[in-house]
Amino acid sequence: MSDPAPLIRARGIRRSYAVGDRTLEILHGVDLDLYPGERLCLMGASGTGKTTLLNILGLLDRPTAGSVHIEGRDGWSLSVAERAELRNQRMGYVFQFYHLFAELNAVENAVLPAMIHHGAMAYMSHRKEYRDRALDLLTRFGLAERLKHRPGKLSGGEQQRVAIARALLLNPPILIADEPTGNLDRATGEKVLELLFAEQERRGLGLLLVTHDDSLAERCDRVIYMEDGLIRGQRVLRSVGGSTDSPELPSGEATAPA
Amino acid sequence: MYRFFLSQRYIRMRPINWIGTLSIFVAVSALILILAIMSGFLEKSREHLRGHLSDLVIAPSFDIPLNSNGQTPPRAAGPILEAVRAHPSVQAAAAQMVWFGMLVPPRGETVLSDPSGMGMVMVSFVGVDIPDEYGATSLRKDLEIKVENGLPGQRPENLDDPFAYPKDYERDPDERPLDCILMGERLAANWGLRKGDQVELATATLDPDTGSFRQAANRTVVLAGTYRSTFNEMDLSRIYMKREALADWLGRHGQYSQLVVKLRDYERDWVQTKADLRQELGQRGLIHPSPKTYTPGDFGWEIQTWEDSRHSMLAAIENERALLGIMLGLVLLVAGFGVFAILSMMVSEKRRDIGILSALGATPKGILTLFLSIGGLEALVGAFLGVVMGVYAAHNINDFELWLSSTFGIQIFDRKVYYFDHIPTVIEWGGIVLIAVAAVGTALVAAAIPALRAAYLNPVDALRYE
Ligand SMILES: Nc1ncnc2c1ncn2[C@@H]1O[C@H](COP(=O)(O)OP(=O)(O)OP(=O)(O)O)[C@@H](O)[C@H]1O
Ligand SMILES: [Mg+2]
């Protein structure tokens, strides 16, 4: 196989919650790969566990069983600090509700990942570089007039664009977006998506996207359908990386529940 | 970087955080003020307790035999003075004759006709040697002192001989020479006495043969001047005269009743000096011999330090200090709770931000320090302002109190109640630093609880919030 190595390789992901005195399993053993440059879409009814899965893949939530390899490293067997570093350097997150800091203006929000990465001294010596990068992104996203605005003074679409700039600031190879347009009207969502896809293409990112929007799914390279905590099938629209011959995903068939 | 950046931004953007600073500020400034005032009061109390007490007082029991052959301590002061002055730690020593008596009203009524006690006053007569007394006690200072509201021109003219007749005293050439006395300015004022007035004194003496009191002949004396010490009731009850004159009046059974001794360095030398003198004077038969070994708290005998004679009162003052410490601790606890409450609120309010920080790659340790530095920063600012305010208030408490009472008619400090005419404050920098450090420390401990909660917050739970 001459496939490029996957950015994310998840195997046998299970996640259960303790609800009262019984445990409720949300994910029943999910396998998933994300390849560089791939635009992967995750679809499924509400409550099937898409967000739960994304949090696990994004190293925010520990699976009850299974493994997540990020660029070959087992994310959940790393130390807390190493995992934090992976999140900071290798992944960008875009949330449905933007999740910006209300106290910071657009530029400050966008440079936050760099501030987290560096200590005070190191950051100050690279400050201009990061600010320029943030300004560049925000300007490209049409926010040149909104740089000093706090989130409270920005529209939903503008806030999401700041969030995307933040996610891209440190040039991570992986971008995880959970219903990034779910909170926006169609026209605005369209614009934000346009911009997201453009960046994805330009940078060759592996994009993992959750959506309920079929027309959006159409524009992805591959669509994975989830149902009740399992992957029920996938549709390959364009072959990117090794996605076509992902062994665990025979078309239309779910991975067997254990 | 984000820790510093976010902590100061959070503090700046959320005025409610200043409540934490405010609670530390109020606690620190109040503590410093309380400490200053309490220390001032305690110091004054200690001073007051000490009063006119000399470093050491040596008072032999003249009537108890020294040994089996019935010898008693010598009644003359010469030998014992010489022996005491020979000790290297002794700076000065003076012999005093102390006796009790009454001041008889000048209006011709007799003491006995006034059984209620009104119009006469119990006093101590203190017979002193000049200039020995000046070396060992504060008498010279008390005679020199000038006070704004004091009575002018009442001090004796010549301090080298304060018991001389006042310049303008017109002596009746026929009468026998009268003795001169010095009395406290307040006592003289209460009785309407002026320098040069004649005063009548009464006393009783102990008959050395029968052991019972008998009334001695009243004496007319001349007021040679007034003194003013820092101790009110002493001023109201002490009348100085020449030791010779007092001994003469009392029938010359004794020549001195005690030695007052001033040490070069009391704090350093008192233990050793007291032990040395016990042994030395005891061996020479000047006082009663006592065991060689000194036992602390054994103050019931003939040589006493001023602390010995105020033992239980001093212990009460020390208790007060311990109590003060506990109270201060409680105030800090409350301030710490202020920081805790504000920061807990903030952590709850900022759950989402904490989740985002996690997602963006912040470690739990980083989040912990973020919230700790918010608490620490608040406390530092509060403690700094508190120190400034506390010290300023302690310096100006009297002006402030005067302003309060003149503006609102509230009298916080009743000058009639205390022995001093202003609120005493003592700025102890050691204590202030301790308070500031303790306040910041308490704030950090209080901040640690919500900070830990933030650090171990599950980012997924935090992010689910909208
Ligand atoms: N902490 C939790 N404790 C118990 N149950 C949970 C917890 N978190 C999520 N769940 C449950 O897990 C299931 C999957 O939730 P999840 O948010 O992953 O769904 P989703 O597919 O993202 O849905 P949506 O499309 O509405 O966003 C839901 O039934 C939810 O109630
Ligand atoms: Mg979801």
How many domains, chain B? Answer: 2
Our mutation pick for probing the ligand 1 site, out of A19, A30, A50, A216, counting the most ligand atoms within 8 A of Cβ, is A50
State the DSSP code for A244. Answer: G
Element (H, E) at A33: strand A22-34
**Which of A26, A42, A228 has most ligand 1 atoms within 8 Å of CB, for mutation?**
A26
- Residues touching ligand 1 (Cβ under 6 Å) are A 17, 19, 24, 26, 44, 46-52
**In the predicted model, is pLDDT for residue B232 greater than 80?**
no
- One-letter amino acid of B245: A
CA distance B189 to B252: 32
pLDDT band per the 50, 70, 90 thresholds, residue B344? very high
Selected residue of A79, A105, A116, A178 to mutate for chain B interface (largest B Cβ count, 10 A): A116
Is residue B368 situated within a structural domain? yes
Ranking A30-44, A53-67, B42-56 by mean pLDDT, the lowest is B42-56
Q: Model pTM greater than 0.80?
A: no
Q: SS3 for A159? A: helix
Contact flag B460-A60 (C-beta cutoff 8 Å): yes
A112 and B364 within 8 Å at the Cβ level: the answer is no
Ligand 1 atom 7, closest CA: A17
| Residue B267 in domain | no
Q: Are A163 and A184 in contact (CB under 8 A)?
A: no
Domain annotation covers residue B205:
yes
Q: How crowded is the C-beta side of A142, counted as CA atoms within 13 Å?
A: 13
CA atoms of B223 and B241, how far apart (whole Å): 10
Token readout for B232 is 């009110």
Q: Is there a domain that residue B66 lies in?
A: no
Q: What is the pLDDT of residue B59?
A: 86
CA-nearest residue for atom 18, ligand 1, is: A49
Let me know whether B238 and B111 are in one domain: yes
Q: Which ligand is nearest to the CA of A48?
A: 1
Q: What is the pLDDT of residues A152-175, one digit of tens each?
A: 999 989 999 999 999 999 999 999
3-state secondary structure of A28: strand
Going from the Cα of A51 to the center of ligand 2, the distance in angstroms, rounded, reads 4
Say yes or no to pLDDT of A250 above 70: no
Average predicted confidence (pLDDT) for chain A: 87
Q: Give the residue-averaged pLDDT of A213-241.
A: 87
Distance from Cα A114 to the centre of ligand 1, integer Å: 31
Question: What is the residue with the minimal CA distance to atom 16 of ligand 1?
Answer: A49
Residues of chain A with Cβ-Cβ distance to B357 below 8 Å are 116
The minimum CA-CA distance between B453 and chain A, rounded to whole Å, is 17
Strands B258-263 and B90-104, bridge-based pairing: antiparallel
- Residue that is last in its domain, among B206, B235, B253: B253
Structure tokens given for A145: 């007039």
Cβ contacts of A117 on chain B, cutoff 8 Å: 361
Interface of B with A in 356-395 (CB under 8 A): 356-366
Centre of ligand 1 from the C-alpha of residue A229, in Å = 10
pLDDT of residue B117: 54
Give the atom of ligand 1 at the shortest distance from the alpha carbon of A226. 21
* Least confident window among A192-201, B67-76, B384-393: B67-76
Question: What dotted CATH number matches A38-60+79-255?
Answer: 3.40.50.300
Give the position, in ligand 1's atom list, of the atom nearest the Cα of B461: 1
- According to the per-residue pLDDT averaged within each range, which of A60-69, A118-127, B199-208, B285-294 is highest? A60-69
Nearest CA-CA distance, residue A111 and chain B, Å: 10
Contact B458 A61 (CB under 8 A): yes
Bond preceding residue A247 cis, omega within 30 of 0: no
pLDDT score of B115: 45
What distance lies between CA B458 and its chain's CA centroid?
A: 59
| Residues of chain B above pLDDT 70, percent | 89
Where are chain A's structural domains?
38-60+79-255
Whether the per-residue pLDDT at B70 is higher than 80: the answer is no
Residue B212, in any domain of the structure: yes
Show which of B253, B286, B302 is a domain's final residue: B253
Q: CA gyration radius for chain A?
A: 18
According to the 3-state scheme, what is the secondary structure of chain B? CHHHHHHHHHHHHCHHHHHHHHHHHHHHHHHHHHHHHHHHHHHHHHHHHHCCCCCEEECCCCCCCCCCCCCCCCCCCHHHHHHHHCCCCEEEEEEEEEEEEEEECCCCCCCCCCCCCCCCEEEEEEEECCCHHHHHCCHHHHHHCCCCCCCCCCCCCCCCCCCCCCCCCCCCCCCCCCEEEEEEHHHHHHHCCCCCCEEEEECEEECCCCCCEEECCCEEEEEEEEECCCCHHHHHHEEEEEHHHHHHHCCCCCCCCEEEEEECCHHHHHHHHHHHHHHHHHHCCCCCCCCCCCCCCCCCCCEEEHHHHCHHHHHHHHHHHHHHHHHHHHHHHHHHHHHHHHHHHHHHHCHHHHHHHHHCCCCHHHHHHHHHHHHHHHHHHHHHHHHHHHHHHHHHHHHHHHHHHHHHCCCCCCCCCCCCCCCCCCCCHHHHHHHHHHHHHHHHHHHHHHHHHHHCCCHHHHHHCC
Average pLDDT, stretch A15-29? 91
Is residue B240 located within the same domain as residue B362? no
CB A193 within 8 Å of CB A216: yes
Tell me how long chain B is: 466
pLDDT of amino acid B119: 62
Contact A103 B363 (CB under 8 A): no
The answer to whether A84 contacts B353, with C-beta atoms less than 8 Å apart, is: no
Both B434 and B327 in a single domain?
A: yes
Average of per-residue pLDDT across B264-288: 85
- Please tell me the predicted confidence (pLDDT) of residue B466: 56
**B269 band by pLDDT with thresholds 50, 70 and 90:** confident
- What is the spatial distance between Cα B98 and Cα A108, in angstroms, rounded to a whole number? 84
> Which one of B234, B253, B272 terminates a domain?
B253
Non-local CB neighbours of B58 within 8 Å, separated by 6+ positions: B80, B84, B258, B259, B261, B277, B281, B287, B302, B303
Q: How far is B348 from chain A (nearest CA, A)?
A: 15
CA atoms within 13 A on the CB side of B448: 6
DSSP characters for A164-191? HHHHHTT--SEEEEESTTTTS-HHHHHH
Note whether B97 and B21 are same-domain residues.
no
> Angle at the Cα of B375 (from B370 to B380), degrees rounded to 5?
120
Query: Residues 297-356, chain B: which have Cβ within 8 Å of A?
Result: 352-353, 355-356
Is the residue at B173 inside a domain?
A: yes
Identify the pLDDT of residue B105: 66
Does residue B458 belong to the interface with chain A, where contact is any CB pair within 8 Å? yes
Whether B79 is in a domain gets the answer: no
pLDDT at A249 (0 to 100): 45
Residue with CA closest to ligand 1 atom 28: A47
DSSP β-ladder status, A39-44 and A206-210: parallel
Task: Answer positive or negative: Cα dihedral of B127, B131, B132, B133.
Answer: positive
Residue B133, domain extent:
90-253
Strongest mean pLDDT among A59-68, A115-124, B268-277, B293-302 = A59-68
Please give the number of the atom of ligand 1 that sits closest to the Cα of A229: 14
Question: In 3-state terms, what secondary structure has residue A155?
Answer: coil
